[in-house]
Chains A and B, each alone.
Chain A
């Protein structure tokens, strides 16, 4: 089932949590709402679920306005960061809860409930702990039970609020792959909230990057990583080098380096920010006219398959981080303190919206 979010606004006192958000979530996709804490991602998820009411705007399920309908009627499965399992019920009863609270006419028979719960527990691979209580389970097991419980009511939409946030790194990684596989099996429209860019990029079909109550970019993981729409997205997704630069007559200058900036042919001497990822930097022994700038090697971290260099620009007090493959590093035979030339393979330039007073 598709979800449409139309012009949602939400304020908490003086704080604007969501500022006129519109978003389409197509049927059957796994979407990540990604952003730093306080960006409004959880609030948006709770509004979609009906746990929170927006101050303005609409939520449409399959084209029908669901804004006014109660969370009970929306048929959403919600998974909480801290599991929210019923402590006094066994795993089996937790999963069965959504079936048992149905009105008498719609309630399945006891045998049917039993069959269904065991089916779900098999799906989350925890059939063998049906008789335990939540307190006796590990974090990862609890979250899988919470997921089975949410799926028991056959929701049209599955919403997950930082589902792996409370788990340790190893379990987190296993569980997110497992969630991806589960989604590929069930094809239920799913939205999950996360502040972990790696998680969003690895698991989701589509990533919605949020910041300060607004949407920065919507796209596939490749799109948001390779073509960030805003400086925020560039900085939030992965490591990035930032150069302060100026754009003049369609060109940005960084030291000796000049790059053409599309759409700014008439811009005169505007402050700009240029971004390049560490793995998009080439290191050369000799300068290339107009496409390199000089720098000194400050530090070399040669651990693992990637060699990380810390470079200091010769003409400014900015530091640059570069990542080289081991072979390239050996070819160059770099030492700390040597002068080299930096050539960014792909550089994105944004005009600085609020330049510092020079």
Chain B
């Protein structure tokens, strides 16, 4: 009780108890209860059965593809998202607002539409596919197609997290660096990037998390060949269709645990970087 009172009294803002209580209730209803249901359902399997279900070659291949393609997609988005944000913040050009709005489209589009559109373009007889085919590059119905779909849906995250940070950077800091003799590249690498890292990592984490959970756009372009281009969410659906509910939730649990661990790791990295870069209080 004494402990409770002591850290409650630290805050001058009223309503701490109410706000925290509501937050926990809300998170429980929306996140914790549905997620714990997957664990409870999975518990129907014994430990051995669970292990066999989640380590079949088909399941292992699907994890590799899901997390691998999501990571590659998120990395691509980190690089190009930074570039897009840079162009949108630093330059003025005709149609800038249009480009700015375009960035959000992958959010708004139903993912199935995106998947069909991408497939139509990258199929061997599609607009881009017909030129790539003679070069020996197959996109549709291969893991490469999965990467492209996941890159597409993750685009807005890095742009939208980096953009406001970039806008807030004072031009004076760059001028100061130039006065001290730093080249453009040195200013970018040593003055701008340290300020952008936390936002870049947040953007990467969001894009990655979104890509791991993506289903709609991928199933059209992936071809869904077991062991080659089948993602874990699809494997879950397949198991559900076969009335193997416990097997489906088992794979869901594995995905949950891996995702949670990775996000925790990324958050930790971000905390470490922002601490190193002096945002801490004395």
Contact = CB atoms under 8 A, between A and B. Distances in A.
Given A80-B172, A88-B278, A150 B179 contact: yes
Given A72-B182, A87-B195, A97 B278 contact: no
A164 interface: no
Contact of B282 (A72, A86, A101, A136): A136
A101 B278 contact: no
A113 interface: no
A135 B275 CA distance: 12
Interface residues of B, number: 24
B278 A87 contact: yes
Interface string B190-227: 11001100000000000000000000000000000000
A84 interface: yes
Contact of A153 (B180, B279, B281): B180
Given A80-B172, A84-B173, A87-B195, A149 B180 contact: yes
A88 B195 contact: yes
B170 A82 contact: yes
B181 interface: yes
A72 B195 contact: no
B183 interface: yes
Interface string A129-161: 000111110000000001001101100000000
A23 B190 CA distance: 37
Contact of B181 (A85, A89, A98, A146): A98
B277 A88 contact: yes
Interface in A98-126: 98, 101-102
Given A135-B278, A136-B282, A153 B181 contact: yes
A294 interface: no
Contacts of A150: 179-180
A101 B186 contact: yes
Interface residues of A, number: 31
B180 A101 contact: yes
Contact of A89 (B182, B278, B281): B278
B182 A101 contact: yes
B178 interface: yes
Contacts of A134: 278
Contacts of B175: 51, 71, 78, 80, 84
B45 interface: no
Contact of A76 (B179, B276, B280, B282): B179
B181 A133 contact: no
A101 B181 contact: yes
Contact of B179 (A49, A102, A132, A135): A49
Nearest to B274: A88
A72 B278 contact: no
B177 interface: yes
A235 interface: no
A135 B279 contact: yes
A59 to B, nearest CB: 15
Among B177, B179, B191, B280, the most chain A Cβ lie within 10 Å of the Cβ of B179
Contact of A90 (B173, B176, B191, B278): B278
A35 interface: no
Contacts of A87: 195, 277-279
Contacts of B277: 87-88
A78 B179 CA distance: 7
Contacts of A135: 278-279, 281
A133 B180 contact: no
A102 B177 CA distance: 12
Contact of B178 (A71, A132, A133): A71
A182 to B, nearest CB: 19
A40 interface: no
B278 A133 contact: yes
A134 B172 CA distance: 15
A137 B137 CA distance: 57
A51 B172 CA distance: 10
B183 to A, nearest CB: 7
Contacts of A101: 177, 180-183, 186, 190
B176 A84 contact: yes
Contacts of A78: 175-176, 179
Given A87-B195, A88-B194, A136-B282, A102 B181 contact: yes
Contacts of B179: 49, 51, 71-72, 76-78, 150
B170 to A, nearest CB: 6
Nearest to A133: B278
Nearest to B180: A98
A33 B51 CA distance: 78
9 contacts: A71-B179, A87-B279, A97-B180, A97-B190, A101-B180, A101-B190, A133-B280, A153-B180, A153-B181
Q: Which 8 A-B pairs have the closest CB atoms?
A: A133-B278, A88-B277, A98-B180, A84-B172, A88-B194, A84-B176, A101-B182, A78-B179
Interface of A: 49, 51, 70-72, 76-78, 80, 82, 84-90, 97-98, 101-102, 132-136, 146, 149-150, 152-153
